[in-house]
Structure 1
């Protein structure tokens, strides 16, 4: 019987080593995707704003300077993301100082009495490699209504989540202000509110 050559045995040994390395890497990658992770919004690199149309087709943008948000990646990876955000209504700011005071007044957000605007996600659906639809409940003052946001992630979002890296995305959606009881100035302020989000989340936990 012919004995295997040294070259053949070397090839077999290298193939076995490569297979073992690949199996180990695949197991670690799977464990990373199966391990829940928690991310917190990085406020200094994020922006949340409401944009409204005014009479004469001008726009008024209300920026919120203080937002606390958590993003959870349960087992299953990016397709199972959950998001909860608290927006400080008192932190509302705009380039028009008078408009900021009016927007926080009892005739609009009533920020003294209702200081927090909340969003809690209910569903996350991937629509592409770096896009998704995020549905959730938005609470303004005492009214809670569903809202849908179109999400665009930075490229390679799945790899960022798999490795526990910071995650950035933009999102936008629309809602009717009158549905939330914000009915003041109907002749001068449009009913449609454009919610615009630019968010960067950093990991609070990493898999071992």
Structure 2
């Protein structure tokens, strides 16, 4: 099969994350505004073109004060860095429908290689005859690698916010016209 252009279906996709809080629990959040450029044979992603862009100001942790802090210069610095971007540079098939997708992640003006495990979840037609595909992706990054170093020491030892951020994406896309 040849490469096909796929349009991201944002109503059926999500970008979620979690990070340790107070060294005792995980706090979850998501980004509400994101887009992707996908050109791929969904049954063999090894030569796919994948680019992803997330509006950092669309962070949503269900806590307005925390979201306000996250968009500030202490974290995402949305005023100077309104998006984070990922562009795949290498895709390795690891099993049937499973891939390691490595690419350049740019966050807060810093670009580093990161690898995400991507699973092809399936392909089919919706009730209106539109061809759809689904993928999931997971991985983690160290926020300090990107200059997100704000923290607070805890009286009991340790820090308020963990360095490791777990990332989970659920992606549905429609065959572009």
TM interval, short-chain normalised: 0.7 to 0.9
Report the counterpart of residue 127 of structure 1 in structure 2: 94
Matches within 5 A, 1:6-155: 33-34=1-2, 36-73=3-40, 77-155=44-122
Report the counterpart of residue 29 of structure 1 in structure 2: none
Paired with 1:101 and 1:61, the residues of 2 have a C-alpha distance of: 15
Higher percent of residues as helix: 1
Contact 1:150 1:171 in 2 (8 A): yes
Q: Aligned Cα RMSD in Å?
A: 2.0
1:166 pairs with 118, 132, 154, which one?
Answer: 132
Report the counterpart of residue 144 of structure 2 in structure 1: 178
Using the size of structure 2 for normalisation, the TM-score is 0.86
Higher percent of residues as strand: 2
Q: List runs of 5+ in structure 2 lacking aligned partners.
A: 153-158
Secondary structure of the structure 1 residue equivalent to 2:68: helix
2:162 pairs with 179, 185, 190, which one?
Answer: 190
When Rg is computed on C-alpha atoms for both structures, the one with the higher figure is 1
Paired with 1:116 and 1:195, the residues of 2 have a C-alpha distance of: 16
Contact 1:40 1:70 in 2 (8 A): yes
Structure 1 residue 62: Cα displacement: 2.4
Paired with 2:23 and 2:146, the residues of 1 have a C-alpha distance of: 24
Aligned length: 166
Q: List runs of 5+ in structure 1 lacking aligned partners.
A: 1-32
Using the size of structure 1 for normalisation, the TM-score is 0.74
Change in 2 beyond 3 A, CA 1:56/1:79: closer
Paired with 2:131 and 2:46, the residues of 1 have a C-alpha distance of: 16
Report the counterpart of residue 3 of structure 1 in structure 2: none
Q: List, as ranges, runs of 4+ consecutive aligned residues in structure 1 with deviation greater than 4 Å.
A: none
Secondary structure of the structure 1 residue equivalent to 2:78: coil
Contact 1:167 1:201 in 2 (8 A): yes
Larger relative contact order, structure 1 or 2 (CA cutoff 8 Å, min sep 6)? 2
